[in-house]
């Protein structure tokens, strides 16, 4: 598979159809505009056969290595056609379905995610179970028709716009921790589900609380074994740190390019831009190595915590540099460009929280990679 030749085909296509792919709004746009744009771009890529690249043929893809789909996301994100994080949600949910759903279920649902006809969300975190995910208490109890779910999720990104949710629920005793959790995927319009949007710092209601009151789920919607949900979660997280990070790196490069293009008149500019460049280069090098391991069929594990630390460091560095070199832009700027810088700066603070906090990643690196003993 010649990735460079594929890239050329894609970039030629994006140039030719630039008007069709372009957003119809200035700057960051509203959340609704961003999501409409996301669906449009995914549908166009699907229609022209690019969304299929790098996905297995048995789920509607056209095959090829994961690097191929990482490259597609890189080009789309670098052109600012979509919000990087929204585009990359496919990269965690689809591989999980491919791995754990029955072949016919995966073949039915994965194309809907790839083509943008459906949005999915990830219901893991709860009010008392974030870093300590193994303590989650949203409960699934078996009945004669399948399962009945009661409980609450929190910080469920884009759940108010999603058709389906990949959910972790307690099926063992409260003490069973990671051994008593089962994964399901359910329809968000099932009776008993209430979604209450929560705003992030920028004001966008990007995630939500989700409440489950006697929600009936057929057993066919179970992913993996009963009480085997921990391996579903552990499969999903490393995916977030391979192809999805490649996309995010492209987004960060594009922002560093903007800083350079704006030619900041500040004596510190060369030094600060150099620091951000170095952080991004370290991230991209590491991310490339991770993608190559994925394509060799290696299992990604705790070592991807290093990728997460590098990503969060680089993201915050790029936006800190922008804030220093363009004083007042983020605090008081009132045009669409300033609004976008402000939203993205604020979002960069979340990079050390979502997908596992900075402290948790460092604990994993210390304990599992450096063998420095447990947290005590
Ligand atoms: C933008 C964004 C999007 C998100 N999207 C989703 C989503 O779609 N689905 C979903 O399920 N979740 C989502 N989350 C939630 C995210 O996974 C959690 O916020 C994260 O796991 C941390 O959990 P918490 O917020 O409960 O913080 P806590 O776990 O309560 O942590 C609070 C603080 O204590 C520190 N801490 C906790 N335990 C330890 C320890 N053992 N050692 C050292 N320090 C510790 C943490 O590092 C943190 O600083 C999202 C979060 C954000 C910010």
| CATH number of the domain encompassing residue 274 | 1.20.140.10
* Residue 89 sits in the same domain as residue 129: no
* Closest listed residue to residue 107, CA positions, set 174, 61, 53: 61
Looking at residue 57, its pLDDT comes to 97
Give the percent of the chain with pLDDT over 90.
Answer: 92
Query: Beta strand pairing status for 164-170 and 120-123?
Result: parallel
Q: Is the pLDDT of residue 376 over 60?
A: no
Would 306 be classed as within a structural domain? yes
What does the CA dihedral 49, 53, 55, 57 come to, rounded to 10 degrees? 60
Q: Is residue 96 situated within a structural domain?
A: yes
As given in the structure block, the two tokens for residue 321 are: 């540099």
Rounded to a whole number of angstroms, the distance between the first and last alpha carbons of the chain is 48
State whether the beta carbon of 198 lies less than 6 angstroms from ligand 1: no
Last residue of a domain, one of 69, 94, 118: 118
Rounded Cα distance between 105 and 220, Å, is 9
Q: Determine if ligand 1 sits within 6 Å of the CB of residue 353.
A: yes
Among protein residues, the one whose CA lies closest to atom 24 of ligand 1:
130
pLDDT higher at 34 or 375: 34
User: What are the beta bridge partners of residue 211?
Assistant: 152, 194
Angle between helix 31-47 and helix 103-114 axes, rounded to 10 deg: 120
Q: Is the pLDDT of residue 26 over 90?
A: no
Answer whether residue 376 is part of any domain.
no
- For residue 357, how far is the Cα from the chain centroid? 15
Query: What is the rounded distance in angstroms from the CA atom of residue 318 to the CA atom of residue 326?
Result: 12
Identify the bridge partners of residue 332 per DSSP, sorted by sequence position: none
Both 9 and 81 in one domain: the answer is yes
Q: With contact defined as beta carbons under 8 Å apart, do 165 and 159 qualify?
A: yes
Mutate to test the pocket of ligand 1, among 124, 130, 165, 368 (most ligand atoms within 8 A of CB): 130
Give me the phi and psi of 4, to 5 degrees please: -65, -40
Inform me whether the pLDDT recorded for 238 exceeds 90: no
In a domain, 236, yes or no: no
Domain of 337?
241-369
Residues 111 and 129 occupy one common structural domain: no
Q: Is the pLDDT of residue 206 over 70?
A: yes
- Which tokens in the block code for residue 82? 């979509």
Tell me, in angstroms, the distance from the centre of ligand 1 to residue 238's CA: 16
153 is written with which tokens?
């999720």
Please check whether residues 255 and 362 belong to one and the same domain: yes
Can you tell me the mean pLDDT for 265-288?
97
Question: In the prediction, which pLDDT does 374 show?
Answer: 66
Given a contact cutoff of 8 angstroms between Cβ atoms, the answer to whether 68 and 1 are in contact is yes
Nearest-angstrom CA–CA distance, 352 and 310: 10
Structure tokens at 84: 């990087």
- 266 and 162 both lie in a single domain: no
Do 247 and 129 sit in the same domain of this protein?
no
Residues in the chain: 376
- Residues 158, 86 contacting (CB under 8 angstroms): yes
- In angstroms, the CA 287 to CA 313 distance is 14
Distance CA 283, CA 304 (A): 11
Domain closes at, from 94, 118, 142: 118
Residue 287 Cβ contacting ligand 1 at under 6 Å: no
Which of 128, 134, 155, 345 is the pocket-test mutation for ligand 1 (most atoms within 8 Å of CB)?
A: 155
Residue 100 shares a structural domain with residue 11: yes
Q: d(Cα 77, Cα 248) in Å, to the nearest integer? A: 8
The H-assigned helical ranges of the chain are 3-16, 18-21, 31-47, 66-78, 84-100, 103-114, 229-240, 243-261, 269-295, 304-325, 329-332, 336-348, 358-364
Distance 353 CA to ligand 1 centre (A): 5
Q: Which DSSP symbol is given to 129?
A: B
21 part of a folded domain? yes
What are phi and psi for residue 184, nearest 5 degrees?
A: -135, 165
Nearest CA to ligand 1 atom 29: 131
C-alpha span between 332 and 221 (Å, rounded): 48
**Residues 79 and 128 grouped into a single domain:** no
What mean pLDDT comes out for the span 308-329? 97
Total domains present in the chain = 3
For the chain, give the mean pLDDT. 95
The span from the CA of 287 to the CA of 36, in Å, is 29
pLDDT of residue 298: 92
Note whether 203 and 282 are same-domain residues: no
What percent of the chain stands above pLDDT 70? 99
CB atoms within 10 A of CB 116: 21
328: helix, coil or strand? coil
Does residue 234 form part of some domain? Answer: no
Q: Across residues 238-263, what is the average pLDDT? A: 94
pLDDT at 375: 53
Same domain? 161 vs 223: yes
Q: What pLDDT score does 239 carry?
A: 84
CB of 245 closer than 6 angstroms to any ligand 1 atom = no
The CATH number of whichever domain residue 83 belongs to comes to 1.10.540.10
Residue 284 resides in a domain: yes
Question: Among 228, 254, 281, which residue terminates a domain?
Answer: 228
240 is catalytic: yes
- Ligand 1 atom index nearest CA of 123: 11
- Could you tell me if residue 375 is inside a domain? no
Tell me: do 246 and 363 sit in the same domain. yes
pLDDT at site 81: 97
pLDDT at 357 over 80: yes
Q: Are residues 201 and 259 in the same domain?
A: no
Q: Evaluate: CB of 348 within 6 angstroms of ligand 1.
A: no
Residue 7 · residue 75 · CB < 8 Å: yes
Q: Exposed e or buried b for every residue in 79-99, given b needs 16+ CB within 10 A?
A: bbbbbbbbbbbbbbbbbbbbe
Q: Which of 240, 298, 303, 331 is catalytic?
A: 240
């Amino acid at each position: 598979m010649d990735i460079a030749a594929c890239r050329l085909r894609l970039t030629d296509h994006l140039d030719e159809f630039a008007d069709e792919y372009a957003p119809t709004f200035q700057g960051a746009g509203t959340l609704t505009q961003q999501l409409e744009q996301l669906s449009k771009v995914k549908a166009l890529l699907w229609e022209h056969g690019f969304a299929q690249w790098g996905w297995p043929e048995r789920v509607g893809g056209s095959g090829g290595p994961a690097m191929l789909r990482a490259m597609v996301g890189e080009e789309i994100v670098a052109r600012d056609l979509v919000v990087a994080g929204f585009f990359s949600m496919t990269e965690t949910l689809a591989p999980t379905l491919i791995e754990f759903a029955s072949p016919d279920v995966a073949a039915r649902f994965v194309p809907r995610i790839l083509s943008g006809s459906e949005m999915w969300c990830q219901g893991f975190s709860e009010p008392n179970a974030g870093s300590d995910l193994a303590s989650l208490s949203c409960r699934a109890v078996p009945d004669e028709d399948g399962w009945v779910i009661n409980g609450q999720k929190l910080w469920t990104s884009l759940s108010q716009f999603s058709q389906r949710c990949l959910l972790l629920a307690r099926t063992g005793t409260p003490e069973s921790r990671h051994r008593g959790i089962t994964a399901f995927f359910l329809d968000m319009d099932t009776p008993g589900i209430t979604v209450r949007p929560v705003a992030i710092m920028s004001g966008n209601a990007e995630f939500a609380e989700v409440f489950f009151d006697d929600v009936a789920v057929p057993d066919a919607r179970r992913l993996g074994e009963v009480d085997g949900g921990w391996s579903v979660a552990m499969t999903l997280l490393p995916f977030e740190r391979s192809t999805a990070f490649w996309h995010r790196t492209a987004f960060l490069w594009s922002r560093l390019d903007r800083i350079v293009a704006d030619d900041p008149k500040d004596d510190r500019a060369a030094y600060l831009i150099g620091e951000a460049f170095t952080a991004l280069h370290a991230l991209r090098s590491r991310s490339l190595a991770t993608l190559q391991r994925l394509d060799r069929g290696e299992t990604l594990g705790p070592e991807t915590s290093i990728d997460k630390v590098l990503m969060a460091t680089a993201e915050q560095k790029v936006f800190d540099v922008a804030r220093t070199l363009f004083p007042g832009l983020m605090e008081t700027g009132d045009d669409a460009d300033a609004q976008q810088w402000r939203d993205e700066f604020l979002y960069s603070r979340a990079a050390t929280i979502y997908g596992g906090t900075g402290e948790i990643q460092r604990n994993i690196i210390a304990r599992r990679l450096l063998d420095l003993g447990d947290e005590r």
